[in-house]
């Protein structure tokens, strides 16, 4: 099983292989609480969590937005300053939110994968299982209200019903698998026409139910008799279009080394006339095609690795207590690798040093500590003494790994 797979399997009424072959990026899937081991999502989020975030965490925009009748309300309608000693002007006003919510506005808590720890931990495991970056928002809808009209998203979504009931209407895409620059607003008329027709799925989600929608599926939802809360997990899937972008970036860099492409156009060239540039364009086209064929797959992989590292954050750590722990490390101290680092090592220079790249940044490991680095990376956890036969080298290596956010003291 892939790392973090239980974060995914808990959402599904089918096994992982069936989901991968039948539903992923293809078909919508409704998994009821009864079909998924009668488990709810109370460990991730709740009504109490909503109130905690809105009134006691000093939450600021853009971690909150409000919507009514399909339109997003201006931030000035629900933000104020923080008062004496906290004069930041865009903090959430719980009084304003109360008034607007009572008047029918939907509360959207954005970026819960950054602001609410249970969601943050689970969503990192989910991203690892999917192999694609995720974000998590919560939608809190008043009774008998609808926050947004029929639309489609440009990313896959999992909808986790947390509290109350919500009626969902799902329709087939008008544009299958849309890219991020192909939003539904550009096809508003087609979406509206599709929304007037019969739904592929009509369902009332109860707490513990989960709905999976590939990008492009048209949907709308309305709360029923009480307050409804659901989590929307947006899966920002890697696509072949991303590979094409990486290929073109590499090919562009190769083209600069070709003299025929660097060649100036003729004196007096009129680049606005197709017939005047046609011959030069064909030379350039052939050079580009050849450059694309010559791009090594490892160069594309390196570009994608960089984008993947930037797309998510590693496991949260406690900067102050971890920093204090650096000085107190001894040979008996236990260390583990920080989760979700996406760590890679590369030779650095000619003397045997290694460069470490991860979501925590990059740093160079000197030759005398490379052995300790490999020992650390090959084990689930180690004591400092395990890292190297020389106690001083082991301690120096351990302190460097902790200081650079790669190792976490087990007792910290």
- Which among 12, 20, 60 has a CA at the least distance from the CA of 39? 12
Instruction: Report percent pLDDT > 70 for the chain.
Output: 98
First to last CA, the chain: 29
Could you tell me if 174 and 75 lie in one domain? yes
Helices (H), 64-204: 94-102, 112-115, 117-130, 188-195
Q: Can you name the residues that pair with 151 across neighbouring β-strands? A: 219
- Is residue 63 located within the same domain as residue 173? yes
Indicate whether 313 belongs to any domain.
Answer: no
- Residues 52, 140: contact at Cβ < 8 Å? no
Given this model, what pLDDT does residue 144 score? 79
In a domain, 221, yes or no: yes
Cα–Cα distances (Å) from 274 to 262, 263, 271, 314, in that order, read: 20, 18, 7, 50
Please state whether beta strands 201-205 and 353-358 pair in parallel, antiparallel, or not at all (unpaired). Answer: unpaired
The residue from 308, 342, 367 where one domain ends is: 308
Q: What is the pLDDT of residue 52?
A: 96
What pLDDT, in 10s, does the model give residues 324-341? Answer: 999 999 999 999 999 999
Instruction: List C-alpha distances in Å: 267 to 4, 270, 272.
Output: 61, 9, 14
State whether 32 and 74 are in the same domain.
yes
Angle at 184 between CA 179 and CA 190, to 5 degrees: 120
Q: Which of 183, 207, 235 is the last residue of a domain?
A: 235
pLDDT confidence of 291, banded at 50, 70, 90?
very high
With bands split at pLDDT 50, 70 and 90, how would you rate the model's confidence at 384?
Answer: very high
Same domain, 160 and 17: yes
pLDDT score recorded for residue 2: 62
CATH number, domain of 388, equals 3.90.930.40
**215 and 187, same structural domain?**
yes
CA 400-114-162 angle, 5° bins: 140
Domain-located, residue 161:
yes
* pLDDT over 60 at 302, yes or no: yes
Token reading at 314: 């590693």
User: Which pair of tokens denotes residue 325?
Assistant: 């722990």
Q: Quick one: 72 exposed, middle or buried, by C-beta within 10 A (0-12, 13-18, 19+)?
A: middle
Average pLDDT of the residues of the chain: 94
pLDDT at 231 over 60: yes
Pairing of strands 334-337, 218-223: unpaired
Q: Is 362 domain-assigned?
A: yes
Please, is 365 exposed, middle or buried when counting C-beta atoms within 10 Å of its C-beta (0-12, 13-18, 19+)?
Answer: buried
Q: Are residues 168 and 78 in the same domain?
A: yes
State which of 258, 278, 308 marks the end of a domain.
Answer: 308
Give dist(CA 412, CA 409) in Å, integer.
Answer: 5
Q: 147 and 221 share a domain?
A: yes
Structural domain containing residue 260: 240-308
Instruction: Give which of 136, 218, 207 is closest to 171, Cα–Cα.
Output: 218
pLDDT at position 320 is 94
Of the given ranges (46-50, 240-244, 349-353), which has the lowest mean pLDDT?
349-353
Q: What pLDDT score does 222 carry?
A: 87
Report the domain count for the chain.
Answer: 3
Same domain, 247 and 118: no
Give the pLDDT score at 373: 98
Report residue 33 as tokens. Answer: 């609480």
> pLDDT, tens digit, for every residue of 257-280?
999 999 999 999 999 999 999 999
Q: Give the CATH number of the domain where residue 99 resides.
A: 2.60.120.650
Residues 78 and 133 in one domain: yes
pLDDT of residue 288: 96
Residue 384 lies in a domain: yes
pLDDT tens digits for 128-172? 999 999 999 999 999 877 767 899 999 999 999 999 999 999 999
Give 185-189's long-range contacts (Cβ < 8 A, gap of 24+).
none
Q: Name the band, by pLDDT with cuts 50, 70 and 90, for residue 1.
A: very low
The tens digit of pLDDT for each residue in 111-136 reads 999 999 999 999 999 999 999 999 99
Q: Is residue 314 part of a domain?
A: no
Residue 206 phi, psi dihedral angles, 5° rounding: -105, 165
* Same domain (yes/no): 156, 303: no
User: Stretch 176-191: mean pLDDT, rounded?
Assistant: 96
Please indicate, yes or no, whether residues 228 and 263 belong to a single structural domain of this protein. Answer: no
């Amino acid at each position: 099983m892939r790392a973090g797979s239980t974060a995914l399997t808990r959402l599904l009424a089918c096994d992982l292989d069936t989901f991968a072959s039948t539903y992923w990026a293809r078909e919508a899937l409704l998994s009821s609480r009864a079909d998924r081991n009668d488990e709810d999502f109370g460990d991730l989020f709740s009504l109490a969590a909503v109130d905690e975030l809105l009134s006691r965490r000093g939450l600021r925009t853009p971690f909150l937005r409000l919507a009514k009748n399909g339109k997003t309300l201006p931030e000035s309608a629900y933000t104020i300053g923080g008062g004496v000693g906290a004069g930041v002007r865009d903090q959430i006003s719980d009084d304003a939110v109360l008034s607007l919510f009572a008047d029918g506005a939907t509360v959207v808590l954005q970026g819960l994968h950054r602001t609410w720890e249970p969601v943050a931990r689970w969503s990192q495991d989910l991203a690892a299982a999917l192999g694609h970056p995720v974000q998590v928002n919560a939608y809190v809808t008043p009774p008998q209200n609808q926050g947004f009209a029929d639309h489609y998203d440009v990313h896959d979504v999992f909808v986790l019903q947390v509290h109350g009931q919500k009626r969902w209407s799902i329709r087939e895409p008008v544009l299958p698998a849309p890219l991020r620059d192909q939003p539904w607003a550009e096809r508003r008329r087609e979406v509206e026409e599709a929304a007037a027709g019969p739904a592929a799925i009509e369902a009332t989600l109860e707490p513990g139910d989960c709905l999976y929608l590939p990008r492009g599926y048209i949907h709308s939802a309305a709360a029923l008799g009480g307050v409804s809360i659901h989590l929307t997990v947006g899966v920002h899937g890697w696509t072949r279009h991303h590979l094409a972008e990486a290929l073109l970036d590499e090919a562009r860099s190769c083209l600069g080394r070709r003299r025929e492409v660097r060649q100036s156009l003729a004196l007096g060239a009129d680049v606005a006339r197709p017939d005047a540039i046609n011959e030069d364009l064909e030379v350039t086209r052939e050079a580009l095609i050849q450059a694309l064929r010559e791009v090594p797959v490892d160069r594309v992989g390196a570009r994608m690795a960089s984008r993947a590292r930037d797309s998510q954050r590693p496991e949260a750590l406690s900067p102050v207590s971890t920093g204090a722990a650096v000085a107190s490390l001894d040979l008996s101290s236990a260390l583990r690798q920080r989760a979700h680092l996406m760590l890679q090592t590369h030779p650095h220079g000619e003397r045997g040093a290694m460069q470490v790249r991860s979501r925590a940044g990059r740093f160079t490991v000197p030759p005398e500590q490379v052995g300790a680095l490999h020992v650390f990376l090959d084990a689930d956890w180690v004591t400092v003494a395990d890292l190297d036969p020389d106690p001083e080298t082991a301690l120096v290596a351990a302190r460097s790994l902790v200081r650079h956010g790669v190792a976490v003291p087990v007792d910290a």
